[in-house]
């Protein structure tokens, strides 16, 4: 920390264990009015610690609201770094915002923020991989089709197994080999449907993520 004078409230809150997320959240919310009267830098830093605590405790909806306020404040006051958080604070907040949206299954929002991060730091592989993951999850219809096809084939295979045990073995033993082959084919078709749709979704996501990265100007 620099030699500038820090308020007593700021120093007291900064002494909290940053990994005790529940205490950070509780203390910030209890003293939010006082924190709001601090200078811009102190208020921003304490808000960032609070936003981080919300993220790590899984309070993603509240995190989304507070992250937007913190990002806006950081831009307005041109604050690039915060003690205890490595790297550019703007990127840090944006990445957590994207991750929270992902966890909430707001994949369009996660993709939008991930693309902004790729634009900011084109060479950072983490951002491209995250964009790929969000693009993969966004293909809900395709993935649901694959799962539905797999479940349908499993149910059909279970029905054929039951039919084989109750009817074919007892009354048509000469067809046991054939029914077992059909069961195997049905199960294989289910696996192929699931693997094929997931593979296609992954290929599309990978292609689009890296095409987007490749389309950004060199910085």
Instruction: Indicate the pLDDT class of residue 1, thresholds 50, 70 and 90.
Output: very low
| CB 89, CB 81: distance < 8 Å | yes
Residue 59 has pLDDT above 70, yes or no: yes
Stretch 118-137: mean pLDDT? 97
Residue 172 has pLDDT above 50, yes or no: yes
Instruction: Indicate the pLDDT class of residue 219, thresholds 50, 70 and 90.
Output: low
pTM for this structure? 0.89
Stretch 103-131: mean pLDDT? 97
pLDDT value of position 160: 97
Instruction: Indicate the pLDDT class of residue 18, thresholds 50, 70 and 90.
Output: confident
pLDDT value of position 6: 82
| CB 202, CB 154: distance < 8 Å | no
What are the DSSP calls for 102-167, one per residue? HHTT-HHHHHHHHHHHHHHSTT-HHHHHHHHHHHHHH-HHHHHHHHHHHHHHHHHHHHHHHHIIII
The pLDDT tens digits of the residues spanning 64-99 come to 999 999 999 999 999 999 988 988 999 999 999 999
What are the DSSP calls for 29-43, one per residue? HHTHHHHHTS-HHHH
What percent of the chain shows pLDDT beyond 90? 89
What percent of the chain shows pLDDT beyond 70? 97
For residue 77, what is the DSSP state?
T
């Amino acid at each position: 920390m620099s030699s500038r004078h820090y308020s007593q409230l700021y120093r007291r809150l900064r002494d909290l264990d940053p990994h005790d997320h529940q205490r950070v959240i509780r203390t910030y919310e209890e003293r939010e009015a006082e924190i709001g009267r601090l200078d811009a830098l102190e208020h921003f830093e304490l808000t960032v610690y609070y936003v981080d605590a919300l993220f790590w405790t899984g309070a993603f909806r509240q995190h989304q609201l507070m992250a937007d306020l913190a990002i806006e404040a950081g831009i307005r006051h041109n604050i690039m770094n915060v003690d205890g958080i490595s790297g550019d604070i703007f990127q840090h907040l944006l990445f957590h915002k994207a991750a929270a949206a992902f966890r909430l299954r707001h994949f369009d929002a996660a993709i939008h923020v991930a693309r902004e991060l790729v634009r900011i730091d084109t060479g950072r592989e983490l951002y491209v991989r995250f964009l790929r993951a969000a693009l993969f999850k966004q293909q809900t219809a395709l993935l649901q089709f694959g799962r539905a096809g797999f479940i349908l084939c499993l149910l059909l295979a279970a029905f054929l197994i039951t039919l084989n045990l109750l009817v074919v073995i007892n009354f048509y033993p000469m067809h046991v080999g054939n029914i077992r082959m059909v069961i195997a084919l049905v199960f294989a078709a289910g696996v192929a449907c699931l693997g094929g749709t997931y593979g296609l979704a992954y290929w599309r996501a990978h292609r689009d993520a890296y095409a987007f990265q490749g389309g950004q100007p060199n910085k």
